[in-house]
Structure 1
C-alpha cells in the first residue's frame, strides 16, 4: 500500500499521545501497537504489503516515539499502558476494531480484550513473547526484586530527563539497535563487546534499513553530529502481570476473538515459548479461533523481513480464519 502518512496528537489525562495514520478514515479501523522502546514507524515495512481496505492507526505508547511520558516518579506497569489504548478507542469512537500488536503490544491487547470484551473483531499477534512471560508462585520474590527493588535502587537513572541521556553518533546508535534491541542491560553489554565481529541473523535483531526506521522516532539531534535517545527509561522496567503459565492459559484460551499469532523461529530456539506451550497449540483453544504460523527470523522479523509474514496477515485481515484455512472464496 502507499504509505501516505498523517500524524497528530490526541489528549490523554497525563499529556499527548502521538498517532500515525495510513489509509482512508472511512475504512474499517486497525489499531497497531508496538513493543518496548519502539514507535509506530516499525509497522511501515509490513503495511506496504497489506490490503488498502483498512484504516491503519499506529499508537505510540506513553514515553515512546513522540508521545509524552507518564509523570515522573513511580515505575510503570502494563495496566498503565493499556489505558492509552482506551484513550485512542474513545477518541475515534470505535465500537469495533481490528488489533495488531508486536511484543509488549500483544500483552496490552490481551489485557484490553479481557477488560473490554466484544470490541476487537480480529487480533494479530507478532511474536508475543512478553505476553507469555510467566511467574510461578515460588518465583514471586525474584520477580519483585528484579523489577521493583532494581527500579528503586536505580531510581535516579530511570527518572532522569532525556537531556542527561548519553550521546552517540548515529552509526553507533544503529549498531546498538541492530545487536542489542530487546536485550537486558547486562546482555546488551556482552553483545556490544562483540559488536565489530561478524554475526548471523540470530544475533542481528534488525537489518540496517530497519534500524534506521526504528531510530527515527526514538532519538533526536543533540548537537555536534551526535544524537540521544528520547524514550522514557522506565519503559525498560515496565512490569507485566505476575501470573503463572496455568493462569495465563486459562485466561487467554477463553478469549473468543479470532486470533492469528506469528511466531519467530529464533524466539522458539531461545526457548521463549517453552513454559507456555498453549501459545503454539491451536487445539488448546475451545472456540477453535486460534491459528499459529511460524516464520524464519527473530523478534523483529515484521520490520526486517515483512514479506515472510505479510501473506498470512493479509489473508487473515480480508477473510478471517477462513483465509488462513484456505476456505475463503478468493
Structure 2
C-alpha cells in the first residue's frame, strides 16, 4: 500500500473531526505525493489540481464537506511534493495525467473511480472518463470542460519555442534558480495569479509550492519546488474536434461548475460546446457560480453545497 505519513513541514489547524495525512505512491520515476482526507477504509474521491498548482488547492474546500467524505488529493508529477520527471523527458500535461490516474487506480486496485478536478485537473477528469467510460462513476470539473483547446495555427506557431525552452529548463544550474525571501515570494505568486487567488490563499498553496533553499545552493531564502519545465508544457494541445470526440465517449455523471468571471477563456464557445456535447451521452449538471478561476480555494463556500449535493445524489 501507499506509504502514509504525517506532514512534518507545517502545523495544520483543522476543524474538529477533520483529519488529513500525507501519502506517497511509488511510480517508476519516484513518487506521487498526496493528501488523504477523511476515512481510510473508504475508497476516496480523487482530486486533481490545476496547472502549476498543487494538492493544497483543496485545503479550504474539503474541510467543509461532511466528515465521512474521503478524498485523495494528489500532486501531479513535478508539482508540489511529487517527484519531477527525470531530465530528458517532456511534460505533455493533459496526456500524462491520464496515464498517472490509470497507474493510481491500478495501484490501489480500484475498479471504478470518481474524480474531481480544477482547471487542468478537471480536464484530466474529463479525458479519463472519456478514455475509460466503464471505469468512472462520476466527475466534478471546476471552471473547465475539456483540455485547453487551441486552433492549429497557434499549436504550430508555438512548437519551436516550446521545444527550445524545454531544453533550456531541463538542466538549470543552481546559480540560475532564483531564491527570494518569504514575503517577496508570496508577492510573486500573487502577481502571477492576477487576482484569482488572494494573498492568504497564495500562502496556502505555497505550503507545498516552495521550500527553503538547500545548503548546496549556497543561497538564502526560498525557491519554487515545481519543475520549471511545466512553464513550457504546451505541446500536444487539443483541437475542438478532438475535444468534442472525447466528450461523445463520456457516460458517467458529470458536474461542471463554471466560475463567473472565472477564467478568461480564449474561446468560451468551445467550453460551452463541449458541455452541450456531454449532455448527449452523460447526465450533466452545469452550474454557474460567482468566483474567480480558483473558486474552490478562494470562495469554497460558493460551491461546497453543490459538490455535497452531487456526491450525495450519486
Counterpart in the other structure of 1:34: 49
Give the distance between the partners of 2:278 and 2:141, measured in 1 at CA: 17
| Count of aligned pairs | 293
1:69 CA displacement: 0.7
SS in 1 for 2:195: coil
The alignment's TM-score, normalised by the length of structure 1, stands at: 0.81
Counterpart in the other structure of 1:143: 155
- Residues 1:238 and 2:254 are matched in the alignment: no
Q: Deviations over 1:220-258 (max 9, x none)?
A: 112776110011112222236443223322321441111
Query: Cα RMSD (Å) of the superposition?
Result: 2.3
SS in 2 for 1:247: helix
The alignment's TM-score, normalised by the length of structure 2, stands at: 0.85
Query: Bigger shift: 76-85 or 303-312?
Result: 76-85
SS in 1 for 2:133: coil
The 5-angstrom pairing of residues 15-164 of structure 1 reads 15-77=30-92, 78-128=94-144, 131-137=146-152, 139=153, 142-146=154-158, 148-161=159-172, 163=174, 164=176
Structure 2 CA distance for partners of 1:79 and 1:233, relative to 1, 3 Å: same
2:279 to 260, 282, 285: 285
Give the distance between the partners of 1:136 and 1:233, measured in 2 at CA: 25
Structure 2 CA distance for partners of 1:166 and 1:157, relative to 1, 3 Å: farther
1:248 to 243, 250, 255: 243
Runs of 4+ in 1 over 6 A off after TM superposition: none
- Residues 1:306 and 2:297 are matched in the alignment: no
1:297 CA displacement: 1.6
| Kept after mapping to 2: 8 A contact 1:18/1:67 | yes
Structure 2 CA distance for partners of 1:16 and 1:208, relative to 1, 3 Å: same
| Kept after mapping to 2: 8 A contact 1:151/1:158 | no
Please, which runs of 5 or more residues in structure 1 have no aligned partner? 182-202, 321-330
Please, which runs of 5 or more residues in structure 2 have no aligned partner? 1-14
- Residues 1:210 and 2:201 are matched in the alignment: yes
Structure 2 CA distance for partners of 1:24 and 1:240, relative to 1, 3 Å: farther
Structure 2 CA distance for partners of 1:284 and 1:118, relative to 1, 3 Å: closer
SS in 2 for 1:154: helix
Q: Deviations over 1:120-145 (max 9, x none)?
A: 2110001116x3522344x2xx3134
Q: Deviations over 1:92-114 (max 9, x none)?
A: 11112210011111122222222
